[in-house]
Structure 1
Amino acid sequence: MTAFIDVEVAYALTAQQDLIKVRVAEGATVRDAIEASGILGKHPDIELDGRNKVGVFAKLTRLDTVLRDRDRVEIYRPLIADPKAVRKQRAEEGKVLKKGGGPAGE
């Protein structure tokens, strides 16, 4: 008898979130859960072997990671801008970056 686990697959756009519950065989991987959820058909822009990274509960992971019962698989969208490059550009432009709360009254 094959044992099953319940997991969720999550993918969020700016105006829409998909959270799909799926039952997969014990020993299933992140890739197995994503494929079983049908989300790749709903969002053809997802490229698992390319630009989209995946994680389990906000921790980056690989597609061949074995899942546990009640895990949440998350598919991340690519960054629009590299945060390091943006900070460097601001520094070159002479913009002052505030850190911390600063003095009271400001």
Structure 2
Amino acid sequence: MKIEVVRAWPHRFDAVVLELDETATVAQAVAAAGFQDDPQITGYAVFGLRVSADTRLCEGDRVELLRPLQADPKDARRRRAEDRPLKKK
């Protein structure tokens, strides 16, 4: 089966397309892509849904390697709202 493994940073990403057997897991896909030693990996997702390393994959899955957040999303939204001018009614 064909799957894709993706790891991303701000403004760039690595993507590897692999052919694996039908019983492949997330951990096997990450190892086959050569990303298993990345110390920043904090978890895994398939199409944005968090999964464990022993999750079985399906044809066409995209495995995403998760990293720690660089900023708290609530703080980032608050800063954006503060920077926006108020709309007059």
Task: Percent identity, please.
Answer: 33
Report the equivalent of 1:78.
68
CA RMSD of aligned residues (A): 2.6
Question: Could you tell me whether the CA contact under 8 Å between 2:40 and 2:68 is conserved in 1?
Answer: no
Structure of larger gyration radius: 1
Deviation at 1:27, TM superposition (A): 1.0
- Give runs of ≥4 in structure 1 deviating > 6 Å: none
Q: Match for 1:70: what amino acid?
A: G
TM-score w.r.t. structure 2 length? 0.75
Deviation at 1:55, TM superposition (A): 0.4
1:33-72 matched pairs, under 5 angstroms: 33-40=29-36, 44-47=38-41, 52-72=42-62
Question: Could you tell me whether the CA contact under 8 Å between 1:6 and 1:21 is conserved in 2?
Answer: yes
Deviation at 1:80, TM superposition (A): 2.2
| Stretches of structure 2 lacking an aligned partner (at least 5 in a row) | none
| Stretches of structure 1 lacking an aligned partner (at least 5 in a row) | none
